[in-house]
Structure formats: C-alpha cells, structure tokens
Amino acid sequence: MKKIGLFCMVLLLAGSLIGVLAAGREAVADAPIVLRLAETHSQDYPTTQGNYEFARLVEERTNGRIKIEVYHSSQLGEERAVLEQVQFGAIDFTRVSISPLSAFVPEFDALQMPFLYRSGEHMWQVLEGEIGREFLASLEESESGFIGLCFYDAGARNLYNSRREIKTVEDVRGLKIRVQEAPLMMRLIELMGGVPTPMPFGDVYSALQTGVIDGAENNWPSYYSTSHYEVAKYFTQNGHTMVPEITVASSISMAKLSEDDQEIIRQAAWDSMDFQKEKWADFEAEAEQIIRDAGNIITMPTPEAIAGFQKAMEPLYAAQPAYVQDVIARIQAVK
Ligand code: BDP
C-alpha cells in the first residue's frame, strides 16, 4: 500500500514537472524579442520621435514579436562609443549623424561635403533616390558591421560662438570650434581658419561655459535643445553643411533574425522617414523662434560672404578620393 502511494506521488510530481516545463517553453516562444536603439538626443527631439515611430511600426508589423526599446539622451553612451558597440552587436540599432559614422566608413564623406546640397529638397532627392539607397546598401557590403536603414533630416549646420559676431570666413580665424569626431569636420574648421576641437556632443555645453572652446557648429534644434544658445550668443547662418542623420543596425543583431523580420525592420525604418521630416520641420521653426526671442545675435552673411566660406572649402573638395569625387558629381547632377 505504502509502495503504491509512493508510486502515485512520483507520478504526480513527474506530471506536474512536465506541465511546468511545457508552460516554460511556451512562455519562451511567446516572449517578444527585445532590441535596443541608442539615441543621443532627448525624448522629445525629432530624431527620437522618428525612432519611436520606427519602433512602433516594427512592433505593429510583427504583431508584437519584436520590440525596440529607445534609449534616448545618450543613456547608452556618446555616438562614437555607441557605434563601436553596434559593431560588436552589444547595441542593436543607433541613430547617429553621418559625421561620426564617416570616421568608420570614410566613403560617407560624399554625403556630408560642405555646401553640397542646393536645398533640403535637393538633399532628399539624393537620399531617397538611387544614391541614398546605394549608400545604405554599400554599408552592408563594406563589412563595417553596420546595416544602413534610413536617413533623417538635420537641416543645415551653422557656426556659433561666445566671443564675437562672425560675418565672413575671416572672422573665424583663431576661434576654437568644437567639431564632431570626424576627420572631415576637423578639416572644414581648419580651412575656415579656426582651431578644430573634437569632442563628444555631451561635453560641449560645459566646454563652452568654461571657455575651453569658443564655439561650435550645429543646426537650430541642437543649438536650442542643448542650451548652447545660452552660453554662445553669436549665431551665424552660414549653413556650411547639411549632414543627414542615419539609422544603422548591427549586422550581428540582424543576422539573428529571420529574413522576413529583417525585411520588416528595413521597411519600417524607411517608412518612419516622413514622420521624422515633419517633426523636424516643426521643431526647426520653433527652435529658431525661441532663440530669436531670447535675444541672441543672429547674423545672416551676405551672398559674397557665403561665397567666401565656399571658396575656403575648395581644398577639401580637391583632396577627396576619386570615388567620392564621382559621387559628388552625381549629387550635383541630381535636379
Ligand atoms: C546633431 C546631431 C547629432 C550629433 C550632434 C553633434 O543630430 O546626432 O551628434 O549634432 O554635433 O545635429 O555631435
């Protein structure tokens, strides 16, 4: 009798163990795949809004199987360090400026040359057309560890500083200007006669405040959202570059997903562009207005002065390798 009782108990235990294991397996199968995206800007910034839209589309189109968590405000690190982690697959996605990416893949200089695009429309014709698509695909082929997904708007970059009004390129002489950690940006400021000082985005505010640097360069939204406009009052609308933003995936992370899921991710990122562009246009206008209202000294250089900035960039064009020169010519030919 005792033996039968024991036997029954063993059976019962084994049964419930099997039950628990099966339930566990089901839970694993149902658990969403969670991927991480790193973003340097704050939560309400247009690029971050674009990231959320990308994440929303991926979640919707995979019926919740894939979730992308957006880590904004440099929670996962500054752009250069984040890009390294994306190469190792430690971070799955990031949205960065093309400048820091160009330090890893120099061919991207072709998309961020000074005074390259005639307008925002021209830039988008290029990025959404054959050339932009080619660049996204070439990233993958370059075995850089990145997969290019889409571009976002970042308007035009302009000079600002805490020392003096800049009306012409000659006025830049001797000013210490922070640049992104990219060789092209270093050279650009050097050719204007300034002293380029590369540093991560997050360090710029205190460097301006303490006088370690005299100025920096960026678009209206970044000048505003970082509060740089409070410590560097002189802003010159010289628009020396339009540097597109780019979202990249880690090829290591992507390789773990099915072909179908990879395709959903690519398409969702591409489809988030229009949303970001709209947010960008609104925020750019809003930031400019706030800065003007704050009483900053805003200088619009004359056409001759702009021509002076452009002329100063000629050696940078001349120094580009043949491949970049070809792309530049193709970009200039885009109507
Ligand atoms: C902003 C870009 C951001 C850059 C930053 C910078 O959106 O991704 O890293 O400039 O200057 O315009 O570092």
Residue-number span of the structural domain to which 211 is assigned: 157-242+296-333
Indicate whether 289 belongs to any domain: no
Indicate whether 15 belongs to any domain: no
The vertex-52 CA angle with 139 and 132, nearest 5°, equals: 30
Question: What's the pTM?
Answer: 0.91
217 Cα: distance to centroid of ligand 1 (angstroms): 10
User: Both 235 and 305 in a single domain?
Assistant: yes
User: Both 147 and 104 in a single domain?
Assistant: yes
3-state secondary structure of 305: helix
User: Both 59 and 204 in a single domain?
Assistant: no
User: Both 114 and 225 in a single domain?
Assistant: no
Residue whose C-alpha is closest to residue 148's, from 35, 262, 22:
262
Residue whose C-alpha is closest to residue 35's, from 76, 70, 73:
70
| First and final C-alpha spacing in the chain | 93
User: Both 38 and 126 in a single domain?
Assistant: yes
Indicate whether 279 belongs to any domain: yes
40 Cα nearest atom in ligand 1: 8
User: Both 64 and 97 in a single domain?
Assistant: yes
218 Cα nearest atom in ligand 1: 12
Q: Ligand 1 — pocket residues by CB below 6 A?
A: 40, 47, 79, 96-97, 154, 180, 201, 218-219, 222, 245
Rounded Cα–Cα distance for residues 59 and 53 (Å):
10
Ligand 1 mutation target, pool 82, 188, 201, 247, most atoms within 8 A of CB: 201
| Tally of structural domains, the chain | 2
CB 173 within 8 A of CB 166: no
Cross-strand pairs, 297:
234
321 burial type by CB count under 10 A (0-12 exposed, 13-18 middle, 19+ buried): exposed
User: Both 164 and 262 in a single domain?
Assistant: no
Indicate whether 141 belongs to any domain: yes
CATH number at residue 314: 3.40.190.170
User: Both 227 and 265 in a single domain?
Assistant: no
The vertex-128 CA angle with 123 and 129, nearest 5°, equals: 95
pLDDT in tens, the chain (335 residues): 455 555 545 444 455 544 444 444 444 567 999 999 999 999 999 999 999 999 999 999 999 999 999 999 999 999 999 999 999 999 999 999 999 999 999 999 999 999 999 999 999 999 999 999 999 999 999 889 999 999 999 999 999 999 999 999 999 999 999 999 999 999 999 999 999 999 999 999 999 999 999 999 999 999 999 999 999 999 999 999 999 999 999 999 999 999 999 999 999 999 999 999 999 999 999 999 999 999 999 999 999 999 999 999 999 999 999 999 999 999 999 99
User: Both 42 and 173 in a single domain?
Assistant: no
Instruction: Tell me the CA distances in angstroms from 28 to 24, 201, 230, 261, 271, one per residue in order.
Output: 6, 39, 51, 18, 30
Q: Which residue has 């740089």 as its token pair? A: 228
User: Both 163 and 192 in a single domain?
Assistant: yes
CB 184 within 8 A of CB 247: no
User: Both 141 and 233 in a single domain?
Assistant: no
Indicate whether 67 belongs to any domain: yes
157 Cα nearest atom in ligand 1: 12
Indicate whether 263 belongs to any domain: yes
User: Both 269 and 227 in a single domain?
Assistant: no
